[in-house]
Amino acid sequence: MNNFWQTIHKPIIALAPMEDVTDTVFREVVLSVSDPDALNVVFTEFTSTDGLCHEKGRSKVIERLLVNASEMTLLKSRNTKLVAQIWGGDPEKFRLSAKLISEMNLFDGIDINMGCPAKKVVKNKSCANLINYPELAKEIIYATAESTHLPVSVKTRIGFSKIVTEEWISHLLETAPKAITIHGRTRKMMSNGPALWDEIGKAVTLRDKLCSKTLILGNGEVFSYTDALNRIEQYGVDGVMVGTGVFKNPWMFNTERVEITVNHRIELMRKHITLYQNTWGNGKDYNVLKRFFKIYLNGFSNAAHWRDAFMRAHGYEEALHHLDQMEKQLQALMVL
């Protein structure tokens, strides 16, 4: 087994798996403005094992595992690792999905989602609800690991309806996953309130007490590269996973760029729209792209006007036209 978790440059900084966000396009966009040492692991969107194991359903979910050739070139040039994340509740389907993913020869690891709090997934024994079924969770990890040569990791939370950090993490450590990423909130907390990093620290202490080789990554309220390094130093984690923080600043993994100009925003937004169009065309809902516009359209004169214009755009050509018009206006105002 090629376990990159043990050989990768530390500290480990990872881009979290996010629904309708971390597709091959967004990963490439973020990677293109990041330092290799400041972002060394990226995750796919989370992909249903039920869908992967269903002959007709597979075509609907397999796009979540798409890796553009341009992204793959970038990953290899940086030596950044790409991990496929999967979810479900049936160990046998995890076994089959892991085998399928391994045979794709695109990924460096497989991650099991045991943290997503969405009602539509926790109503079954899957994602965060697996915290309530530790024996099933362990069976899923074993089934996945037995059917792949790739290192298997887990992303989870500190509890479901209440905090059970040490009890829950001890169950996971029994299966010796190569890494566990812990979001410092329970499922009940969703994304509300502060992330409880002291609980993540308890997991590190437990891991060390048990002399486990499993790496521990922390997740929750990391909004800058400096934040990430501070969390690592303060809580003793092996790395940090960044989620929604990247929406505030996709350049956060660039340690040299101090000032993000309007021109930088325009260039990256144009790259994002064009790459999205070339990748998905009409095969994916254009409106999904709109959730990214707020990343770029802030911090300059008349930004609110342009955000409204882009949100009203009905397609790629109209959005790119708006971008050209905005650039001309800002050039005239000499604010680029």
pLDDT of res. 238: 98
Q: Do 149 and 276 share a domain, yes or no?
A: no
Q: Which helix (H) or strand (E) holds 84?
A: strand 81-87
Residue of 53, 116, 127, 211 marked active site: 116
pLDDT of res. 248: 85
Look at the alpha carbons of 33, 215, 143, 162 in this order and tell me if their dihedral is positive or negative: negative
Q: Do 73 and 179 share a domain, yes or no?
A: yes
Residue 102 pairs in a beta bridge with none
pLDDT of res. 124: 86
| Per-residue tokens: 145 | 């690991």
Q: Do 244 and 286 share a domain, yes or no?
A: no
Q: Do 88 and 235 share a domain, yes or no?
A: yes
pLDDT of res. 257: 67
Residue 84 pLDDT > 80: yes
| For range 66-76, the mean pLDDT | 97
Q: Do 139 and 36 share a domain, yes or no?
A: yes
DSSP state, residue 183: E
Residue 117 located in a structural domain: yes
pLDDT of res. 87: 97
Residue 58 located in a structural domain: yes
pLDDT of res. 296: 93
Q: Which of 248, 282, 303 is the last residue of a domain?
A: 248
Instruction: Name the band, by pLDDT with cuts 50, 70 and 90, for residue 57.
Output: confident
Q: Determine the Cα–Cα distance for residues 151 and 185; give it in Å rounded to an integer.
A: 25
Instruction: Name the band, by pLDDT with cuts 50, 70 and 90, for residue 81.
Output: very high
pLDDT of res. 55: 83
Residue 221 pLDDT > 60: yes
Range of the domain at 76: 4-248
* Contact predicate 216/207, CB 8 Å: yes
Q: Do 61 and 193 share a domain, yes or no?
A: yes
Q: Determine the Cα–Cα distance for residues 212 and 172; give it in Å rounded to an integer.
A: 11
Q: Which of 248, 277, 300 is the last residue of a domain?
A: 248
Q: Do 192 and 328 share a domain, yes or no?
A: no
Residue 256 located in a structural domain: no
- Secondary structure (3-state) at 146: helix
One-letter amino acid of 111: D
Residue 40 located in a structural domain: yes
For the chain, first and last CA: distance in Å? 50
Residue 257 located in a structural domain: no
Nearest partner of 253 among 37, 25, 10, 9, judged by Cα: 37
CATH (domain of 185): 3.20.20.70
DSSP state, residue 16: P
Task: Measure the CA dihedral 53/59/65/68, to 10°.
Answer: 150
Residue 255 located in a structural domain: no
| For range 243-264, the mean pLDDT | 87
Residue 313 pLDDT > 60: yes
> How many residues does this entry show for the chain?
336
| For range 200-226, the mean pLDDT | 97
- Indicate the burial class of 34 (C-beta count within 10 angstroms; 0-12, 13-18, 19 or more): buried
Neighbours of 23 (CB within 10 A): 24
How many domains in the chain?
2
Q: Do 107 and 237 share a domain, yes or no?
A: yes
Q: Do 243 and 105 share a domain, yes or no?
A: yes
What ranges in 115-254 are assigned the alpha helix state H?
A: 119-122, 134-146, 165-174, 197-209, 225-235, 245-248
Q: Which of 248, 275, 303 is the last residue of a domain?
A: 248
Instruction: Name the band, by pLDDT with cuts 50, 70 and 90, for residue 333.
Output: confident
Q: Do 305 and 233 share a domain, yes or no?
A: no
Q: Determine the Cα–Cα distance for residues 317 and 219; give it in Å rounded to an integer.
A: 37
| Per-residue tokens: 167 | 């009890």
Q: Do 110 and 42 share a domain, yes or no?
A: yes
Q: Do 233 and 322 share a domain, yes or no?
A: no
| For range 156-169, the mean pLDDT | 98
Look at the alpha carbons of 27, 215, 107, 287 in this order and tell me if their dihedral is positive or negative: negative
In angstroms, what is the C-alpha Rg of the chain? 20
pLDDT of res. 335: 57
Q: How far is CA 298 from CA 183, 247, 334, in A?
A: 28, 12, 17
Range with lowest mean pLDDT among 112-121, 296-305, 306-315: 296-305
Q: Which residue has the higher pLDDT, 124 or 41?
A: 41
Residue ranges of E strands in 88-178: 109-114, 152-157
Q: Determine the Cα–Cα distance for residues 250 and 272; give it in Å rounded to an integer.
A: 12
Is 211 in the active site?
A: no
| For range 110-137, the mean pLDDT | 95
Q: Determine the Cα–Cα distance for residues 175 and 132; give it in Å rounded to an integer.
A: 17
Residue 311 located in a structural domain: yes
CATH (domain of 291): 1.20.120
Average pLDDT for the chain: 94
Residue 44 located in a structural domain: yes
Range with lowest mean pLDDT among 110-124, 125-139, 154-168, 244-258: 244-258
pLDDT of res. 241: 98
Q: Determine the Cα–Cα distance for residues 145 and 156; give it in Å rounded to an integer.
A: 17
Task: Collect all residues with Cβ–Cβ distance below 8 Å to 154 and sequence separation of at least 6.
Answer: 111, 112, 114, 141, 172, 177, 179, 180, 181
